[in-house]
A = this chain, B = another copy of it.
Amino acid sequence: MDIEARLVALETRLRSAEDQLEIIRLLNTYGPAVDSGSAEAAADLWVEDGIYDAGGVTRFTPEALIQMYNDTGHQELVHTGASHLTATPRIEVNGDTAEAVAYSFVVLRRGEEWFIMRGAINHWSLVRTNDGWRIKERFNRVLDGTPASHEVMRRGLRGAD
């Protein structure tokens, strides 16, 4: 293989590795943002018309998300001591779009301990923008044993190695 072809191959492969690391960074910005009440920083992780579908109400960014993170229920979590924990995601990059699947947990302080008040499975559709990777849609279902939750998990097996 000539030098030009090897350079192009390296550039393409490295970009895919960087994309995965950037998506890990993006998804792990969410917890510290919402748990510190930084509503705008959290909303900024989505594209302008991004979607957060956690069952029930589907919220469009950025206004609805900012409102959600500023509401009384969320503020109570913030002031009690909470972690919106995103587990290590399974990421598949396809050029300028990507998919990620991971569990997420809301861990809340109760007295001298912490407990898991919510367990969920998530599927993120991501897109490369001029400002880096952003979430286009986050689809979240609680871990309740229903076929709907299993379906989200199975999205993580598409294109499995």
- For chain A, what secondary structure do more than half of its interface residues adopt (helix, strand, loop), or is it mixed? mixed
Q: Tell which of A33-41, A52-60, A62-70 binds the partner.
A: A33-41
Max count, chain B CB within 10 A of own CB: residue among A24, A41, A103, A113? A103
Max count, chain B CB within 10 A of own CB: residue among A89, A92, A107, A161? A161
What is the bound-complex CA distance between A128 and B81, given in angstroms? 33
Of the candidates B18, B25, B78, B116, which one forms a contact with A115 in the assembled complex, judged by CB atoms under 8 Å apart? B116
A82 at the interface (CB under 8 A from B): yes
Contact: A118 with B114, CB < 8 Å?
yes
Contact-residue size bin, chain A (C-beta under 8 Å from the other chain) = 35 or more
**Could you tell me which residues of chain A, from 44 to 101, have a CB within 8 Å of some CB in chain B?**
44, 78-83, 85-92, 101
A121 at the interface (CB under 8 A from B): yes
Contact: A29 with B161, CB < 8 Å?
yes
- With A10-B10, A88-B24 as known contacts, state yes or no: A143 contacts B82, CB within 8 Å: yes
Interface residues in chain A, defined as those with a beta carbon under 8 Å from any beta carbon in chain B: 3, 6-7, 10-11, 13-14, 16-18, 20-22, 24-26, 28-29, 31-33, 35-38, 41, 44, 78-83, 85-92, 101-103, 105, 107, 109, 112-119, 121, 131-133, 142-146, 149-151, 153-154, 156-157, 160-161
Report 9 cross-chain contacts, Cβ distance below 8 Å, ordered by A residue.
A13-B14, A20-B21, A28-B156, A29-B90, A29-B161, A32-B154, A33-B157, A88-B88, A114-B116
